[in-house]
Amino acid sequence: MVTCCGLVTVKNEPVPLKSIAVEVSVQGHVATVSSTLQYENQEQSPLEAIFIFPLPGEAAVCRFSAKIGQTEVVAEVQEKQKAQEQYDDALSSGQQAFLLEESDESPDVFKLSVGSLPPGEKASVSLDYVTELSVQADDGLRLCLPAVLNPRYQPQDSGSGGSAQVSSVPAGSVPYSLSLSAHVSSPHPISRVESNCPLDPLNYLNTEKTQATVSLAAGHQFDRDVELLLYYQDTHQPTAIVEAAQASAKPGTLMGDPVVMLSLYPEFPKDVMSSMTSHGEFLFVVDRSGSMECPMHLGSGSQDRISSARETLLLLLKSLPMGCYFNIIGFGSSYESFFPKSVEYSQKTMDEALQKVKEMRADLGGTEILQPLKHIYSQPCLPDQPRQLFLFTDGEVENTKEVLDLVKTNAGSHRCFSFGIGEGASTALISGLAKQARGHAQFITGQDRMQPKAMQSLRFALQPAVVDISVKWNVPKEVSVTPLSPPIRVLFQGHRALLYAQLTGERSGDTEGSVTVKYSLAKQPVENQLSFSLKPAEDTGMTVHRLGARTLIQSLEVEEREQDGGKEGVKEKVIELSIQSGVSSAFTAFIAIHKRDGEALQGQLLRRHVPTPNVNVCFNLIPNTCKLLLCLMLFFIVTQQKDLTATVRIRVWVEVLMYIKEAFRFQLCCPIPIDFDSPAPTSKPMRDPLLQLISLQKASGSWVLEAALAEVLVKTEEEVSKPKPAQVDQEVWATVLALIWLYGFKMEAQEDWQFLAMKALTLIVLATLVLHLP
């Protein structure tokens, strides 16, 4: 048996890829990522190395080169079939060749082929891509460097037999290293940078803190997605960047004219936002494939994905408004619905759904999203109940483009809020679902918790729908504007919208332009405007041009698939735009050929697949406004009754405060100074008390005065019930106690239970009004 030297795969084959070095340049809301892959052939024959790897779904690959010794070969963008033929011809003649191409099925999977690497020779392959940074629930901007490429599930009836082979090893066994350094530049001060991987300290480059560098800590193994979260001051300020034309490009072409990128954050009127809608058909579509049994992350004590999905469904079901409709659909190789059709939200239907959620397992085989979506779209929409689709998946599907095309076809009937769970979720699928169906995408990786992100999406879904959106550009008459982005179809409060446009014509001096976004919200006309200078910014590279080109290319690719190739000229236009801008597309590839001096390489060409990893409180922290709210709530409910004398009211008020002191041992702002101790330790370990309390809430928003509630409060049932004033309803009293506990001990998880509290407060307000009725 031959013993392989150096790094080897699980099949005991040498791995030619030795290391990956990444440099990131962040400019506000966009980033340029430069990766350098070091290869070495330690075998006795010429080698072809195949590397199948993921990139962000919205990324635009814009440069590809190879360096052999001191010779650098820069790749050209060509029509894909032509590039593949040139690559094969080069290999057959013994020449070195390099090919980079996008998957036919999913735009976030790429294949890198390094052909005819001679024995003992090293090669350095570099690729650059530009990408937008997505906005997270906590206003952070997310940059993800995907490492994990989990096996994509191929539907049995897809007929796709030409998929590239993916070689994978267990996470933690990846035989090559990663180094990463980032330079961050922003118009606003940089507050902090966080990551799911250890980082060296953030290094500010100026006193304004608008520029900084940060690096991964040494020794990082590329066995998980690398996520950077960037936090700026005034993140929600709208911005505009005008990028100068490429000097070598012909005026009138995309690269030969300036391009503007606008970052818009619409502000909705406060009176409209104060009333969230109580209507809607909420469909929760949950991945129950076998891969959902995988852990959320690689750390100790990680929860599996299906358990996290169950807990998230508990929160969502408890947070739905009365009067809406809902259903839950689990899918894998097949799909199952909790109810034959959507049912009205009530205590009975909620209890029935929660029981089924408890029994939900990852037991439905592969990941087949297409069929459950077709089933949903075949069901008629309910009158006056806008359809809201929440889709949770680890995203391991192969027919991404087919799924997105189906969603786009039915986009007019619903909005889709998508969630990518765990390492390896397809960014093209998750982001594409939300983009095509006017929703919002979230990714849950590393130590992320799914629940706050689900609550943010629910908040978006409950916002009044924005309709009749129009964008008007206001520029000098000698300048014309050609939009590169598709029309805006969705706006949410606090949600960013990026727009790209080509500017053609002569400009003089520091002239200004503006863009006006108009729309209708709850039958009210709303207008937001952003002014910007037409003077190009300095040192932006061609990032904005390439992102604008990628945006236009993606729109044209969807149009071409909708026409099934029948609309003449669309594919040709994509190829022309891709070659002109140097940006990857479904119909083009990067090809580089190194024509060596002397004789061509001889010997049998060995093929090696480079593996990728496979994974499957203290009450004093409460703001004074919250304390005051709780005090006033207790005061009105307990003491504002006409038949109580002032003396009795004071006595009841003191008794309530004393009960709170004994039961919770924390201090409310009140007219009586009392010293309180820290919360008493629990007498026995419990499963998550927050989830236990949430599970006890009724669909109406109330809690019941029972032993289970007392257990969460670490009291006996008698200790909870005895202090209740006789005039106060039991459910109102229990609900007040539950809210006090939430505000007292779970403020750090407020995003999880905010909608539960809103329902409960509404119930208490109604009870207070009843007390005041004559």
Q: What is the DSSP letter of 304?
A: B
Question: Of the candidates 552, 551, 481, which has an alpha carbon nearest to the alpha carbon of residue 515?
Answer: 481
Q: Are residues 301 and 188 in the same domain?
A: no
Q: For position 732, what pLDDT does the model report?
A: 83
Question: Of the candidates 296, 360, 291, which has an alpha carbon nearest to the alpha carbon of residue 330?
Answer: 360
Looking at 4-95, which runs of residues are DSSP E strands?
17-27, 30-40, 47-54, 60-68, 71-74, 76-79
Rounded to two decimals, what is the model's pTM? 0.69
Q: For position 774, what pLDDT does the model report?
A: 46
Helix ranges, 379-426 (H) = 400-409
Q: Could you tell me if 745 and 686 are in contact, meaning their C-beta atoms sit under 8 angstroms apart? A: no
Whole-number Å distance between alpha carbons of 107 and 55: 8
3-state secondary structure of 342: coil
116: phi then psi, degrees, rounded to nearest 5: 60, 50
Determine the length of the chain.
Answer: 774
Q: Are residues 290 and 408 in the same domain?
A: yes
What digits encode the pLDDT tens for the residues 551-595? Answer: 999 889 888 877 765 556 889 999 999 999 999 999 999 999 887
Q: How far is CA 582 from CA 62, 79, 540, in A?
A: 5, 12, 17
Instruction: Give the list of residues 6+ apart from residue 310 with CB closer than 8 angstroms, or none.
Output: 357, 358, 360
Question: Of the candidates 121, 75, 69, 70, which has an alpha carbon nearest to the alpha carbon of residue 97?
Answer: 75
Residue 259 lies in a domain: no
| Domain-terminating residue out of 462, 496, 522 | 462
Q: Return the residue matching tokens 């006595």.
A: 651
Q: Are residues 605 and 676 in the same domain?
A: no
Q: What angle do CA 527, 529, 531 make, to 5 degrees?
A: 170
Q: Are residues 659 and 764 in the same domain?
A: yes
CATH number for the domain that contains residue 87: 2.60.40.1730
Which tokens hold the place of 38?
Answer: 């070091």
Question: Of the candidates 575, 508, 496, which has an alpha carbon nearest to the alpha carbon of residue 261?
Answer: 496
Whole-number Å distance between alpha carbons of 725 and 708: 21
Pairing between β-strand 211-215 and β-strand 177-185 as defined by DSSP bridges: antiparallel
26: phi then psi, degrees, rounded to nearest 5: -100, 130
What digits encode the pLDDT tens for the residues 184-207? Answer: 998 889 999 998 888 999 999 999
| Domain-terminating residue out of 594, 614, 634 | 614
Residue 313 lies in a domain: yes
Residue 370 lies in a domain: yes
Q: For position 173, what pLDDT does the model report?
A: 61
| Domain-terminating residue out of 480, 503, 535 | 535
Q: For position 267, what pLDDT does the model report?
A: 75
Q: Are residues 82 and 199 in the same domain?
A: yes
| DSSP string for residues in 723-765 | TS-TTS-HHHHHHHHHHHHHHHH-GGGHHHHHHHHHHHHHHHH
Domain that holds residue 594: 17-151+164-236+580-614
Q: For position 435, what pLDDT does the model report?
A: 84
Residue 8 lies in a domain: no
Residue 283 lies in a domain: yes
* Cα within 13 Å of Cα(295), Cβ side: 13
Gap between the terminal Cα atoms of the chain? 95
Q: Are residues 270 and 350 in the same domain?
A: no
Q: For position 536, what pLDDT does the model report?
A: 86
Q: Are residues 682 and 600 in the same domain?
A: no
Instruction: Give the list of residues 6+ apart from residue 143 with CB closer than 8 angstroms, or none.
Output: 24, 26, 31, 131, 133, 182, 227, 228, 229, 230
Q: Are residues 697 and 741 in the same domain?
A: yes
Question: Of the candidates 643, 753, 550, which has an alpha carbon nearest to the alpha carbon of residue 58?
Answer: 550
Q: Could you tell me if 575 and 79 are in contact, meaning their C-beta atoms sit under 8 angstroms apart? A: yes
Q: Are residues 170 and 318 in the same domain?
A: no
CATH number for the domain that contains residue 378: 3.40.50.410
Q: What is the DSSP letter of 627?
A: H
Question: Of the candidates 464, 496, 489, which has an alpha carbon nearest to the alpha carbon of residue 266?
Answer: 496
Whole-number Å distance between alpha carbons of 170 and 615: 7
pLDDT beneath 50, residues of the chain: 1-10, 151-156, 158-164, 617-633, 635-642, 644, 646, 649-650, 652-654, 656-686, 772-774
Give how many domains the chain has, as a whole number. Answer: 4
Residue 219 lies in a domain: yes
Q: Are residues 229 and 306 in the same domain?
A: no
Which tokens hold the place of 504?
Answer: 């053609």
Q: Are residues 55 and 175 in the same domain?
A: yes
User: Maximum CA pair distance of the chain?
Assistant: 107
Question: Of the candidates 760, 629, 754, which has an alpha carbon nearest to the alpha carbon of residue 697?
Answer: 760
3-state secondary structure of 205: coil
Question: Of the candidates 104, 56, 101, 100, which has an alpha carbon nearest to the alpha carbon of residue 399?
Answer: 104
Which tokens hold the place of 209?
Answer: 């803190």
Residue 248 lies in a domain: no
Residue 496 lies in a domain: yes
Q: Are residues 323 and 449 in the same domain?
A: yes
CA 622 to chain centre: 29
Q: For position 505, what pLDDT does the model report?
A: 87
Sign of CA dihedral 64, 69, 72, 78: negative
Pairing between β-strand 259-264 and β-strand 497-504 as defined by DSSP bridges: antiparallel
Q: How far is CA 480 from CA 54, 287, 513, 602, in A?
A: 38, 47, 11, 57
